[in-house]
Structure 1
């Protein structure tokens, strides 16, 4: 007798991928995460997404009896962070199943994530947790989330608004908040979509920049005209020569463009394989992603990105566009003065070409444009900034991929 499967179970097992996105919202103390989560939740719900928020797990413990006295016992910091990670992972997985089972486009908003623990432990203790669990940074950072949204503490740039009054479990002074903010940024640095939102605008502007960025990530129209500024580099940089305080992460990237299934639309898709390279040159964990890019009638570019598994990547690979090169790059990601940068060094095609991509949110608002200028790292040899459609055709990955011979 065949066992019947419920509609919810069918949704969970369905090979038809219903849009699902998982974002982690992190940052230093008093950065505005609670308000931002509420704003994002309402915004996405009003536009047809089912949304669930996964609460901050340390706050759950602290609100239910965990006190600072626990940290008075040597070694408790590691045990507590391990417990926080257990709860975090379990809650996220349960909530993800709940959303996927419902069978509608959905977003899981996570208030902090497993990598936040690295900001509160010594490097030795953090690495021991990873070893004991048998996981890597790639597992906890890159594979779990579509994007990481970091809100900078009000103690850095909006000091007048830094307060301990709206969070009963917060005890950090402004200096400590800034230190924790920097450590948290470094913990998540290296994720392919790591966005840092500083206090260059007022708080409402900060919230709008976050909403605009998420709009782009889920494929909704937004007020952002672009998310990155691109610069041509004169030479390939050696990351070992970077200043000691610049923490960098290296990756090997393979990008494969797919045959356009709908020739009537101004759109294209590609799959990407991104493998972490450790300091000794050893290949570590790999993350796979599929991206669809579409031009709207008014000329806006909308991208939708989704993490996939190796089997899905290999299946999609069979539909690759043979009229285009497979793009192979080495990428180096790092943070510099509250901005996220990635160096794209081409191996195939056009070996030797090298670009710097800088996170920047811009729009039609001239005041915002003025406050979002890129501060170029002085240790890089920049030729010029790329601008306009001609540069995009000549130096963009989509243009470079086209086989012309």
Structure 2
């Protein structure tokens, strides 16, 4: 549907019911398309922006609530138009991800009120639904098909039971019926494959060939590359990123918490990752949350002094329709990382010889290290010997054997993969000053701080009353560990007078 000879501006709406994976999906889509060299804009959920100003739906009369909903939609359209204009003037292909869209508002008011609102503003459904966006993707709630993983626990703005969540999920999907490119991502697979299906769905609509990276049988494979590598001219077209990883302290047994800073030419994105083992099925669940620069700097003092900071150059490229990431470890680092180069890809090929024959010919492959704990980023970053360290992570991982079938490891872990579960991981996100919002919203008449839908993120609440989970980031009493970011942190503290005792991220939770 897209002309690949011209610059693409692709306007995508991610919508869906509660606990559907919408927030994680935004993060995964952003990373995937940025690796392809696209510019990605993420339009915040407008209801969250307005609710962060202290609006309480329960305090509004019926007329006030309707007027607020009308102003909310006007604000949403203006915010979106701002990002659409940025996309239009951008020199690169551009993906604009809208956290819900204009038609979502119709799911939470009566048809009569919706029609009256359209008429009074000279709006119509064809323009708001069909002509405004290129593609609508509905992330089905865990309440539909993954009930064991649906929960309102730790969600200050989610109180819906399973039956109500199903109803809201249906209403949100029904609001978009009629759009020419409308897809539903259901819960027929585990969470990681659900995210892959989301990315594959968007790529197919745009016309991007992803090879078998997103195949439902595709597995992450990792290879040790002989160093030094060939010159840049030997590579196909690529995108290079500077990547910095810091592991954080965690009170949760068998859990990893890390920060990632990733950027090009001085422009950075920040991700908080929580990875833990599901107590029932033993699968590893990884939840990623986008951070602001301020959030990132607030969390840096929590660095785990048992780990080095990891510095890498990540090179992303496509070879024979297969997507690859090449991680080149940089100094300062543990001696075990010096000269280390690792190649990662996803493949559904079972036969080892066939797979090896498909790898880039310009790289010298020393061996496959998929599932080898000696090459997990967590263990590579340890200051001690990982074989004797009590910090060694023992979560499970699927390791590809010579014939490509998965085997269960008793130790070791992968460093950069969303490992799924039979359902949907919840996300509570973080509280901060940025516009990508943190309060959930609903205008279906239920009491509470809800205006226009429901979010996977917690609401912005008074810090004095913000609940702290055992695995939530802690800022009180944290000491700097003297890594390369200290100068950046000190400069930021002087200029912004931040209070490290007041956490900007209230919770980061995962369904267990």
TM-score of the two chains, using structure 2 as the length reference = 0.40
The structure with the largest helix share of the pair is 1
Structure ranking higher in strand proportion: 1
TM-score under structure 1 length normalisation:
0.50
Higher relative contact order at CA 8 Å, sep ≥6: structure 1 or structure 2?
A: 2
Higher alpha-carbon Rg: 2
